[in-house]
Amino acid sequence: MCAFYVVTLMEVLIFSWEYPPRVVGHLADYVRELAAQLVKNKVKAYVVTYHDFLTGGYDEADGISTYRVTNPVKTHIGVLTWVLTLNQEVERAAANIYYDRSGRQISLIDVHDWHFIPAAVTLKKGLGLPFVYSVDSLEEHRSHGANSPFNMAIKSIEWLGMYEAERLIVKSDWMRDEAYRVYKVPLEKVVVVSPKSGGWVKHVLGVYQSLVGGGGVV
Amino acid sequence: MGARDLAVMMLSWEFPPRIIGGISPHVYYLSRSLARNGVKVYVVTCDFPGAPSREVVDGVEVFRVDSYKNPSPDFASWVYLMNVNMQKEAAAIVRSVGGGVDVFHAHDWLVADAGIGLKHVFRRPLLVTVHSTEIGRRNGIHFDYERMIHETEAWMTYEAWRVVCCSDYMVGHVRWAFGLPGDKLVMVPNGVNADVYARVGGEDLGGFRLRFALPEEKIVLFVGRLVYEKGVHVLVNAVSKVLSKVNAKFVIVGNGYMKEQLSGLIRGLGLGHKVLFTGFVDDDTLRRLQKCADVSVVPSLFEPFGIVALEAMAAGSPVVVSDTGGLSEIVEHDVTGVKVFADNPESLAWGITKVLLDRGYADWLRNNALKKVHEKYDWDRISQQTKDVYSNVLGEYSKSTWA
């Protein structure tokens, strides 16, 4: 059945706060691999990410269009304020892709982790673009269950993402159960795609296809 | 735009009944007056206990959004978190009216994120009114927290098609603070609604006045937040100098972090019976107080506009203001009020005493001030000027490509 998924060319926006060459954890390489695999499957992938020094940069390598934005507010008191002001730049880059590059042909957004969820939500509400929230990690585990106002703020953004997303893609059964335990996200919204499994990209594509209206199979 | 009216979406962190400072009445009166002048106005603002999430107020469509009610690490983080909700809801509203919003109009950095985000998502021009600046409020930028806010303000003015300021002083200040080109700035004064004072009853004011002062005491009124930039400590230092010439009661309306310090200073000077701290009072009480004040004092050290002076003038109270910022423009010395040196208790005491001891002079100031209020600071006139700014921006917008 795999071959049938890719008949319709789809254009997808991918948001990630890390992307090579700026590697913070393992998410950067995962997103890069995802984008590359999508391109191989005839999906047009636009990646919007952060970079301090390659800012304003647009490059197209191996079929992946990458847009790097920087924070217009240089001074910050923490990662929370840093992320929240950066989101408007993500919106700007995404809107420019939507109007100019894609000719309004973007089908959906795939947002990785919490950082750019505010941008995905505004774009959904404003332009009617559905989004997938790909969960790599959750604040619950990163901060070992701490509930300071800072942690609560990040959790509230994760909650917003789960509430507004059409689908959650998580990487393990354990994470699916945790998303349910911490946020009570309806399980029918959650799809487990292990990046270690064979055909994982087809699986991701299947999730995308299900949001675009099920078209594409001839 | 075709047959449709020009439509604007106002973004403001406060709108009645949520009143924290001057932005709330400003956005209320401006929106109301714009709506009367044929502009479709949507206001998106923070929620408030008891206020509906959606209503039509005097022809203005008001939307109140969840303002993020979890505990926040600090005020600025709350502002940015609130903006996530504000732009989410605002984006949905714009989409629900078929994109029928021509201009986004944001008021201060408190809604900068939302205004900038909406501008790009819908590709409509952003107008910004800078009511105040961090560098002005703090008299410089000293900490990262302040610098972050300052840079957010700079970013907002960068993204704005036009930056509106309420006084020539603020035009110069904002231009300096953010290094803006002169043609990006436009001055539209703040306004005052003189009608509300005309409606405040006259016959019962004698009894009302007794709640605050003895019949033989003149009332010296201060209205404002009790914070350093408002210069209320200068007034406190002028109290005994005034009292050596004339019997008066100093009524101080408002709250702020300096309250304890100031009342301690008053007690130390043995003047507790001459100075009354009322805290925050309701609109009606405030207007009646402004009507019975023998002089209203605005001793600010930093004042972008000085709406409280204008309100006093509309209420028919003579004003003594420090010669600084927007106050310098509102008041013409010896004609519509008295200007004194800022941060100078002797000078302030001189001005207060002069008004209190010369009835004829006080009436002269009072009458001239009232005339000026109707001439220059009428909301219909101001909304027309604002509408002209929108039209100019849209004219430029229609001739340009989005880049």
User: In this predicted model, what pLDDT tens digit does every residue of B99-158 receive, in sequence order?
Assistant: 999 999 999 999 999 999 999 999 999 999 999 999 998 889 999 999 999 999 999 999
A89 CA: distance to closest CA in chain B (Å): 8
Section A65-76 average pLDDT: 96
Residues B108, B243 within the same domain: no
Residues B299, B388 within the same domain: no
> A159-163: long-range contacts at Cβ-Cβ below 8 A with a sequence spacing of 24 or more?
A159/A183, A160/A117, A160/A118, A160/A121, A160/B84, A161/A111, A161/A114, A161/A117, A161/A120, A161/A121, A161/A133, A162/A133, A162/A189
Going from the C-alpha of A179 to that of each of A156, A191, B52, the distances in angstroms are: 13, 11, 33
Q: Any CB–CB contact under 8 A between B202 and chain A?
A: no
Q: Which sign, positive or negative, has the C-alpha torsion B135, B136, B140, B145? A: negative
- Residue B185 tokens read as 């700035």
What strands, in cross-sheet order, belong to the sheet with B40-46? B54-57, B60-65, B40-46, B7-11, B103-107, B126-129, B162-165, B185-187
Closest CA to A166 of A201, A202, A203, A191: A191
- Chain centroid to CA B348: how far? 23
**Identity of the residue numbered B362:** A
Residues B322, B199 within the same domain: yes
Range of the domain at B184: 7-191+378-398
- Of A77, A88, A95, nearest to B123 by CB-CB distance is A95
Closest CA to A65 of A121, A11, A123: A11
Complex ipTM, two decimals? 0.94
Q: Which residue has the higher pLDDT, B305 or B32?
A: B32
Instruction: For residue B270, tell me if it sits in a domain.
Output: yes
CA dist., res. B168 & res. B357, Å (int): 33
A150 CA: distance to closest CA in chain B (Å): 6
pLDDT at residue B49 above 90? yes
- By the 10 Å C-beta count (0-12 exposed, 13-18 middle, 19+ buried), B241 is classed as middle
Cis bond upstream, residue B17 (ω within 30): yes
Number of domains in chain B: 2
- Which residues of A, range 132-171, sit inside 8 Å of B by Cβ? 148-150, 152-153, 156-157, 160
Contacts of residue A53, defined as CB under 8 A and 6 or more positions apart, other chains included, come to none
Instruction: For residue B69, tell me if it sits in a domain.
Output: yes
Contacts of residue B170, defined as CB under 8 A and 6 or more positions apart, other chains included, come to B130, B187, B304, B305, B325, B326
- Of A126, A148, A157, nearest to B122 by CB-CB distance is A126
Burial A54-84, CB ≥16 within 10 A → b, else e: eeeeeeeeeebbbbbbbbbbebbbeebbbbb
pLDDT at residue B3 above 80? no
Question: Do A218 and A8 touch, CB atoms closer than 8 A?
Answer: no
B160 CA: distance to closest CA in chain A (Å): 14
CA dist., res. B299 & res. B30, Å (int): 27
CA dist., res. A126 & res. B101, Å (int): 12
B299 CA: distance to closest CA in chain A (Å): 33
Residue numbers in A near B88 (CB within 8 A):
118, 121-122, 125
Contacts of residue A148, defined as CB under 8 A and 6 or more positions apart, other chains included, come to B73
Quote the Cα angle for B237-B243-B248, to 5°.
105
Instruction: For residue B312, tell me if it sits in a domain.
Output: yes
Q: How confident is the model at residue B202 (pLDDT cuts 50, 70, 90)?
A: low
The pLDDT of residue B203: 65
Residue numbers in B near A92 (CB within 8 A):
116, 120
Contacts of residue A120, defined as CB under 8 A and 6 or more positions apart, other chains included, come to A15, A109, A111, A131, A133, A161, A164, A165
Residues B270, B319 within the same domain: yes
Residues B106, B33 within the same domain: yes
Quote the Cα angle for B104-B46-B188, to 5°.
40
Torsion angles phi and psi, residue B381, rounded to 5 = -65, -40
**Best residue in B83, B142, B148, B178 for a mutation probing chain A (most A CBs within 10 Å):** B148
Q: Which residues are paired to B319 by β-bridges?
A: B296
The pLDDT of residue B204: 78
Residues B203, B141 within the same domain: no
The pLDDT of residue B211: 95
Residues B366, B270 within the same domain: yes
Most confident of A139-153, A200-214, B199-213: A139-153
Q: Which residue has the higher pLDDT, A155 or A58?
A: A155
CA dist., res. B25 & res. B18, Å (int): 10
Residues B148, B211 within the same domain: no
- In chain B, how many H helices and how many E strands? 16, 14
Question: Do B131 and B80 touch, CB atoms closer than 8 A?
Answer: no
Chain B residue with Cα closest to A73 = B151
Q: Any CB–CB contact under 8 A between B402 and chain A?
A: yes
pLDDT at residue A2 above 80? no
Contacts of residue B117, defined as CB under 8 A and 6 or more positions apart, other chains included, come to A87, A88, A91, A119, A122, B83, B87, B91
Instruction: For residue B71, tell me if it sits in a domain.
Output: yes
pLDDT at residue A89 above 60? yes
State chain A's mean pLDDT as an integer: 92
Residues B391, B294 within the same domain: no
Q: What is the pLDDT of residues A110-163, one digit of tens each?
A: 999 999 999 999 999 999 999 999 999 999 999 998 999 999 999 999 999 999
Instruction: For residue B403, tell me if it sits in a domain.
Output: no
The pLDDT of residue B137: 87
Residues B228, B315 within the same domain: yes
Residue B181: which H helix or E strand, with range? none
pLDDT at residue A4 above 50? no
The pLDDT of residue B139: 87
**Best residue in A76, A80, A81 for a mutation probing chain B (most B CBs within 10 Å):** A81
Out of A70-74, A94-98, A182-186, B193-197, pick the least confident.
Answer: B193-197
Closest CA to B26 of B272, B338, B345, B308: B308
Query: Helices A79-96 & B75-96, crossing angle to 10 degrees?
Result: 20
- By the 10 Å C-beta count (0-12 exposed, 13-18 middle, 19+ buried), A144 is classed as exposed
Q: How confident is the model at residue A216 (pLDDT cuts 50, 70, 90)?
A: very low
The pLDDT of residue A218: 33
Count of residues making up chain B: 403
Residues B203, B339 within the same domain: yes
Instruction: For residue B201, tell me if it sits in a domain.
Output: yes
CB contact under 8 A, B84 and A85: no
Residues B298, B388 within the same domain: no
Q: What is the pLDDT of residues B169-184, one digit of tens each?
A: 999 999 999 999 999 9
- Of B68, B88, B148, nearest to A125 by CB-CB distance is B88
The pLDDT of residue B236: 96
Q: Which residues are paired to A111 by β-bridges?
A: A15, A133
The pLDDT of residue B302: 86
A2 CA: distance to closest CA in chain B (Å): 35
Q: Which residues are paired to A58 by β-bridges?
A: A67
- Of A80, A92, A127, nearest to B77 by CB-CB distance is A80
Name the fold adopted by A9-211.
Answer: Rossmann fold (3.40.50)
Q: What is the CATH number of the domain that holds B102?
A: 3.40.50.2000
CB contact under 8 A, B155 and A72: yes
